[in-house]
Chain A
Amino acid sequence: MTMTHTLTPTAEPATDTEDVARLLTPDGQRISDPDLERWVTDVDSSVLQSLYRDMVLVRRVDTEGVALQRQGQLGLWAPCQGQEGVQVGTARAFRADDFVFPSYREIGVNLVRGAKPADFVLAWRGEEHSTYNPYDINTATPQIIIGAQALHAVGYAMGIQRDGTDQASAAYFGDGATSQGDVNEAMIFASSFRSPVVFVCTNNQWAISEPVTVQAKFPIAGRAPGFGIPSMRVDGNDVLACLAAMRWALDNARNGIGPAFIEAVTYRMGPHTTSDDPTRYRDKEEVELWKGRDPIARVEALLRAEGAFSDEFAAQVAADADALGAEVRAAALGATSREPIGVLDHVYAEPHSGLEEQRAWFGAYLDGFGTDSEEAAR
C-alpha cells in the first residue's frame, strides 16, 4: 500500500523543537537538507540580503507598533517578534496572483504582499477593520476568529480549480488554531477536492497562555498526512528553510497534486498581544533559549561568513527600517476618523430599507448639532 508522501514522522513529541528540517543552523551555518535545498538553488547572497532586509523591516514595524500602543496611539498590538523568518520566508515564495488569507499576526506576510504603512496600524487604532482592498495585494483582511480563514483559503482554491489557472491560495494560522474545527474541516475539503492550497501553521509554542502541548501531543505536521496531505516540519527561524518549504508546497499546488501543509516551528518572543502578560505563564529560561535562535541574527551570521554583510549594507537596511518605522508612526498619528454617518456605510452591497431608515434618522440627529462653525458662533 502506498501512503501519501510525508517528510515528517508522526511519532515525535510536539515539544521537540529540534526535530525540524533546516538549511541554516542557529549560528548561521549553511547545512544540507536534500528535501529543502533543491528549492533554493537560486538563492545567492543578494537574495539573502533581501530576505534579511525584509525581516529587519518587519521587526521595525513590530517595534513601532508596540511603542505606539504603549504611547496610547493604538488600542492593541499583536507582536510578531521572533516570527520574521517564517513570515518573510514563506511569503516570498508567492506569486503576486496567488491569494493569501493571513491571521492578525502576519505582519511580515502583509509587508511582503505590499501592505502600506497605514495598513499595519489603522485597524489596531480602531479606525478601520481593513485599510486595504484585498484585491490590490491579493491578501484577505487579517482574520481574528481563530482558524476561520483556513476554510476561506480552501474555497478560494476551489475557485482556482474551476477557473483552470495555476494560481494557489494559502492560509496562515497558529498552533492554537489547529484545535479548531474550521482548520480540520479545511484540511478535509482541501484533501477531498485536491485543491491548490497551502496551510502554513506557525507553531510559536503558545496560544496566549496555553502551551502547544495543550493543542498537540504529536508534531502538528504529523496530522496532515492523516488527511492525505503531505507536510513538512521546518525550522521557522530559518528563513531559507521556510522559503524552500513554501516553494515546495506551492509547486505541489500549482501542478495539480493538491494541498500541502507546513508546520514552521518558531517562538513568539513577546506577548500574545500588548494586553497579555507572558511572565505569568512561561519561564525566562525558555525565552532566553529562543533568543539564541533569532532568525535575523542567523542570516546576518551567514551573510558575514559570505562576506556580504558590509557596514554600508547594514546602514542602508537600518535607514530603510527607520524610514518605514517613521511612516508607520506618521500613519498612526495622522489618522483621521471617518465622519460619524460613515459608521453605517457598506453594511450591505444593495439598499436595505431598515438601515436606510436608521441612516436617515442618525443623519438628522447629527445635523441637529449644527456645524462646528455654527457652534462657535453661539
Chain B
Amino acid sequence: MTQLTMAKAINEGLRRAMADDPKVLVMGEDIGKLGGVFRITDGLLDQFGAQRVVDTPLAEAGIMGTAVGLAFRGYRPVVEIQFDGFVYPAFDQIVCQVAKLHYRTRGNVTMPITIRIPWAGGVGAAEHHSESPEAYFVHTSGLRVIAVSNPQDAYVMLRQAIASNDPVVFFEPKRLYHTKGEVDLDVDLADAPPMGLARVAREGSDVTLLTYGSQVMTALDAATAAEDDGVSIEVIDLRSISPVDYRTVTASVRKTGRVVVTHEAAREAGVGAELIASVTERCFNYLEAAPQRVTGHDIPYPPAKLEKHHLPDLDRILDAVDRVMDRPNSLTGVEL
C-alpha cells in the first residue's frame, strides 16, 4: 500500500495500463509536455512518446471523433476532456457514435474508449469549469458512467474502465484530486470488485444516504455529525451510476427504511430522481418516509464566490435527514 493523491493514483493507473497494453493511448488538449492542466498525464509523454500521448488540436468533437476512428482500428483511446463544461462540443460524438456503434453493428465494432472528465465544483473555478453533466450520459444507453471518490477506487476503476470493451465516461472530482489515501498499486484486477459495484462507505441503521464522487466526503462528514444527534446513517458510494448496483442499494434501504440522495448536479431529472424512482419501485413497502433529494439548485453553475450556496453541504444533508426522520426541518409547515 502507498499513500497517494487521487491525481497521482490516476496517473499511475494510466501509466500501468499503457505499459500493459500497447493499444492504449491517451489523447487530449495539453496532455503532453504540460502533463494536462491537472498534471494527470505528467511524465507519460517522456515514457511512451508522442504516438501514444497525443496532444490534440483544441477541438473536443475532434478528439472524440478521432478516438472513434482509432477504436475502429483496434486502439483503446483514453480521452481527457479538459473540464466538465467542455464536454458539450463532443456530445454528439459521444451519444450518437461512441455509445451506439456496438449496437448499430450488432457487436462487430467495439468502442473501448475511456472518457476522463475532471468534474464538478468546489474549487473556485471560472464559468464552465465546475459542472456536473453526468445525467446526460447516464440517460444514454451504451455508455457506462463511473464517478470515483478516493484514490484507490480511482486507480482500480480507471484500469477497469480502460480494460472494458464498453465506452466508459469516467468522472474525476477536481476537489478530491489532492486528497490522499492508501492505494494498492499491485492489486490484481481480476480479483478486484467489478467496476459496477457500489461500496458501503459507512454502515448505519436509520437512514441510507446515497451518493457518488465529489459528495461522498461531504456525506461521510454528515454521517459523523448525525451520530452526535443520535441518527445512524449508512453512506453508500455508488461508484457506478450506470449501471447502479441496486442489490447493495436495496439491501441498505430495506434495513433502514429511509433514503436521502445527494449530488452536486441540479435536481430536475437528475441522477437523484432516477435513484429515488428505482428505490421506490423496489422498496416501497419498506419505506417509512418519502425519500429526499439534496442537490444543486436548478440553476446554471453560479460564480465561484456563490458556489457554496449551490453545493449541497453537511447542513443541507442533515436537514434532509431530519425530514426522513420526521424531525423539525426546513420544510416543517411548508405546503409543497
- List A residues at the B interface (Cβ < 8 Å): 99, 101, 128-130, 133-135, 140-141, 145, 148, 150-163, 169, 181-182, 185-186, 188-189, 192, 345-350, 352-355, 357
Contact = CB atoms under 8 A, between A and B. Distances in A.
Contacts, number: 150
B115 to A, nearest CB: 14
Contact of A349 (B67, B93, B104, B110): B110
Contacts of A186: 62, 65-66
Interface in B224-260: 242-246
Contacts of A157: 69
A interface secondary structure, majority: helix
B73 A163 contact: yes
Contacts of B25: 162
Contacts of A140: 72, 109
A99 B72 contact: yes
A188 B59 contact: yes
A135 B54 CA distance: 26
Contact of A348 (B62, B74, B102, B244): B102
Contacts of B72: 99, 134, 140, 152, 155-156, 159
B251 to A, nearest CB: 14
B230 to A, nearest CB: 35
B70 A151 contact: no
Contact of B102 (A99, A135, A145, A346): A346
Interface string B40-80: 00000000000110101101011011111111111100000
Contacts of B285: none
21 contacts: A130-B106, A130-B108, A133-B108, A134-B105, A140-B72, A141-B104, A148-B65, A150-B65, A151-B66, A152-B72, A156-B70, A158-B54, A158-B69, A159-B74, A186-B65, A189-B57, A347-B102, A349-B164, A350-B164, A353-B243, A355-B141
B102 A352 contact: no
Given A135-B108, A141-B104, A152-B65, A350 B74 contact: no
B107 A159 contact: no
B73 A129 contact: no
Contact of A185 (B54, B57, B70): B57
Contact of B196 (A99, A101, A129, A353): A353
B86 to A, nearest CB: 14
B165 interface: yes
B153 interface: no
A92 B271 CA distance: 50
A155 B106 contact: no
Given A181-B61, A353-B243, A346 B69 contact: no
Given A158-B54, A185-B61, A346-B105, 12 more contacts: A134-B105, A141-B109, A151-B66, A155-B70, A189-B57, A345-B106, A347-B103, A348-B166, A352-B144, A353-B196, A353-B246, A354-B242
- Counting chain B CB atoms within 10 Å of each CB, which of A188, A348, A357 scores highest? A348
Interface in B132-177: 141-142, 144, 164-166
B52 to A, nearest CB: 8
- Counting chain A CB atoms within 10 Å of each CB, which of B61, B69, B72, B97 scores highest? B69
B73 A151 contact: no
